[in-house]
Structure 1
Amino acid sequence: MYSIIVVPPPTTGDERRDTRFRLAPGERLTFGRSAADNDLEIPHEGVSRAAGEIRAHGAFWILSNHSGSQTYVVENPEGAGEHVKVSPGRLDAPIPFEFSRIVLPAAGDLLPIEVWAPRHDYRDPSGGPTGATTAPAFSVDRTKRYFAVLVALCEPRLRGAPHAPLPTVDQVVDRLRPDWPAASRASVQWNIDYLAVKLRLKPSPDEADTGPRLNGKKQSLVSLALRFDLVREDDLTVLTRAPGPGER
């Protein structure tokens, strides 16, 4: 089974090469300016003759940077700014993203190579030990208003703007008011404070040591939620429905 699909950089305009490189585990693909020395030719004067190598390894892949001076950046287009930097000469850097974009700096241009890793391998849960179940790392109820507040905070970055500024409390109020007419600055701020305690970013008020004041509370919440997939793109649907009676 193929585990890696490589999409070459665009040619002219929005056109792409017709070729797709499909790699099975253990196979490799070299790329660079030289057609004679590489599987994938990138005819740009700013690309090294032997620029690098992609090697498939089951459900992930590794990247070697053969350039002597250029750092390559591997972006996760679906992440909130997630990326991996592969320094000049670095060999066998593991890349964990399912959808990736290698960005090659080339004499003022940024050339993208897309790499798809659609293969997913999972452990068979039936073979594990029996006993009490493991407590969840984060317990959130997607029907509660606090979750809608969290989704509204994450919305700009979930919609493909990983570096977008977070919405203000007033903007969150405006976003939620169609489904939550009683939304106000006080109620939204209360939910933000509640989330900070619920997700263990700060101790609860009834604990003896409440710790220092948490600065950047919204930023910490969004970072945690996106990093651990507490909020995903398909959760944006909660912003278009009204919470039921008694929901926070």
Structure 2
Amino acid sequence: MYSLIVVPPPTTQDAEHRTRIHLAPGERLAFGRSAHGNGLRIAHDGVSRRAGEITAQGAFWLLSNLSREQTYVVENPEGAGEHIKVGPGRLDAPVPFEFSRIVLPASGELLPLEVWAPRHDHVRFADDPDGTATVPAFSLDRTKRYFAVLAALCEPRLRGAPHAPLPTVEQVVERLRPAWPAASRASVQWNIDYLAVKLRLKPGPETADPGPRLNGKKESLVSLALRFDLVREDDLVVLAAPSRQGVR
């Protein structure tokens, strides 16, 4: 199976059709302004003659920045602002995103070079011989009210606005009303406080230590949830689904 599919930017000679380039594991694709030595020519005066190189590596890929001055940014379009920077002269920087957009600065323009990595390798789990299960790092029940509250907090950034301000408690209440008619400011705030304990941002009730005051509680919850994929875009269906749980 191909490891990578590279979609050229619209400035290339085949801009009308944007022919996709397939790379198998171990194959390399050099790109730049020059037609010599590059598998992908990007015909723009602001792009280095030999700008960079992409190398397929199974379920991930490597990016080499061969320019002298420009830093390249590799964005994850589905990652709520997730990105990495590859500085000038950096070789073989690993990129783990399934969908990526290399942003090439070019004389006042930002050229997008898309890279898709559809190959997924997974471990085949065998039965544990001692019969003990690993305790999950974060235990969340997607049928509970608290998960719907967390999904509502994460929704703006999951919808493609990675730097959007978080909704207020009142806005969360209104967002949850179709599925949870009895939602109130007090009940939503209770669930936010509960999530802070459940996700170990605050000590639990079993300890007398109240822990440090948690400023920006909502921001901390959303940051943790998005960083570890505790809430994904697919999970936003809980905001529209009829509620079957009792009100907390």
- Give the TM-score taking structure 1 as reference length: 0.95
**1:85 corresponds to 2:113:** no
CA distance in 2, matches of 1:212, 1:48: 51
Letter in 2 for 1:161: A
| 8 Å Cα contact 2:145-2:245 kept in structure 1 | no
The 5 A counterparts of 1:99-178 are 99-126=99-126, 129-178=129-178
| CA 245–42 in structure 1, closer or farther in 2 if over 3 Å, else same | closer
Matched ranges for 1:58-77 at <5 A: 58-77=58-77
Is residue 196–residue 202 contact of structure 2 (8 Å, CA) maintained in 1?
yes
Please report the RMSD computed on the Cα atoms of aligned residues, expressed in angstroms: 1.5
Conservation of the 8 A alpha-carbon contact between 2:11 and 2:42 = no
Which moves more between the two structures, 186-195 or 122-131? 122-131
Q: Give the C-alpha shift of residue 173 in structure 1.
A: 0.7
- The structure-2 alpha-carbon separation of the partners of 1:57 and 1:196, relative to structure 1 and needing over 3 Å to count, comes to same
Amino acid at match of 1:173: V
Cα distance in 1 for partners of 2:242, 2:169 equals 19
Counterpart check, 1:213 vs 2:213 = yes
TM-score, L = length of structure 2: 0.95
Number of residue equivalences: 246
In the alignment, structure 1 segments of 5+ residues that lack a partner are: none
Give runs of aligned pairs for residues 32-71 of structure 1, distance below 5 A: 32-71=32-71
Distance in 1 separating the partners of 2:231 and 2:205: 25
| Higher mean C-alpha deviation, range 86-95 or range 131-140 | 131-140
Q: Which amino acid aligns with 1:193?
A: D
CA distance in 2, matches of 1:96, 1:214: 32
The one-letter code of the counterpart of 1:221 is L
Which consecutive segments of 4 or more residues in structure 1 shift more than 6 A? none
Report the 3-state secondary structure (helix = DSSP H, G, I; strand = E; otherwise coil) of the residue aligned with 2:53.
Answer: strand
User: Aligned partners of 1:234, 1:243: CA distance in 2, in Å?
Assistant: 17
SS in 2 for 1:63: strand
Q: Letter of the 2:93 partner, please give it.
A: A
Q: Which amino acid aligns with 1:108?
A: G
1:3-36 Cα offsets, whole Å, 9 max, x none, are 0100000149xx6543111000110000000012
Q: Structure 1 residues 129 and 247, CA, compared in 2 at 3 Å: closer, same or farther? A: farther
Identify the residue that residue 183 of structure 1 maps to in structure 2. Answer: 183
Using the TM superposition, give the Cα deviation of residue 124 of structure 1 relative to its aligned residue in structure 2, in angstroms: 1.4
> Aligned-pair distance for 1:163?
1.1
Cα distance, 1:125–1:108 mapped onto 2, change above 3 Å: same
Q: Is the 8 A contact 1:103 1:110 kept in 2?
A: yes
Q: Which runs of 5+ in 2 are unaligned?
A: none
Distance 1:209 1:26 in 2: 54
Q: Counterparts of 2:16 and 2:63 in 1: how far apart (Å)?
A: 22
Q: Which amino acid counterpart does residue 174 of structure 2 have in structure 1? A: D
Larger deviation, residues 178-187 vs 135-144: 178-187
Deviation at 1:130, TM superposition (A): 4.3
Identity of aligned pairs, percent?
77
**Which residue pairs with 1:8 in the alignment?**
8
Deviation at 1:37, TM superposition (A): 2.4
Instruction: Provide the rounded CA distance (Å) in 2 between the counterparts of 1:82 and 1:18.
Output: 26
**Is the 8 Å Cα contact of residues 62 and 92 (structure 2) preserved in structure 1?**
yes
